Structure 1
Amino acid sequence: MNVWIAIGATFVSCYLVKLAGLLVPAGVLERPLVRRMAALLPVALLAALTAQQTFAEGQALVLDAKAAGLAAAALALLLRAPFLVVIATAVVVTAGLRALMG
């Protein structure tokens, strides 16, 4: 029963957040600070998620094949590789190291 309460609370809170977004006056959204924050927030959230998924294992910090894949992707980005090449590089390096470490 507690699971259904949590699902209901999540549903209601998501609906209220979406409704609050619709009620914000247009003038507030046109401010330079709000525009800058709206542009940078997704990048910051994605970077935080990437770091958490790469370097965390439960409560511990780890340095494994995922970190090497991320480093290879960063290097490919520095070399101005196309996006699909960056992703493929990360996948190949991560899978190769996992196969070697076995």
Structure 2
Amino acid sequence: MEILMSIMIGIVFTVSIYLFLSRSLLRVTLATLLMSHGVHLLLLTLSGLQRGASPFLNFQADAYSDPLPQALVLTAIVISFGVTSLLLVMAYRTFKVHNTDDLEELRGSADE
């Protein structure tokens, strides 16, 4: 199962890097969102995927799932939501001011 998840994480990272290399500001924002989801999946996969293991309930349990990676991913989801919303607002404001979302045109207008 970890191999399949690793392949899927590689695909998500590949798509996000491809979107980072585009000229559209909205695609760069979506690439940030995809990259953060890839990191979340990576953290959960590296912590070990276990089926049927309950959370830590008592000290006599044979196997239990570690809640720390899940807590870290939950915190990272909240942070990435805030970063994505900030980037969307900044992209919208940039589009309203310059009437384009092309990064090459934005760079050309900054040089003038």
The interval holding the TM-score normalised by the smaller chain is: 0.3 to 0.5
| TM value normalised by structure 2 | 0.35
Question: Higher relative contact order by CA 8 Å / sep ≥ 6: 1 or 2?
Answer: 2
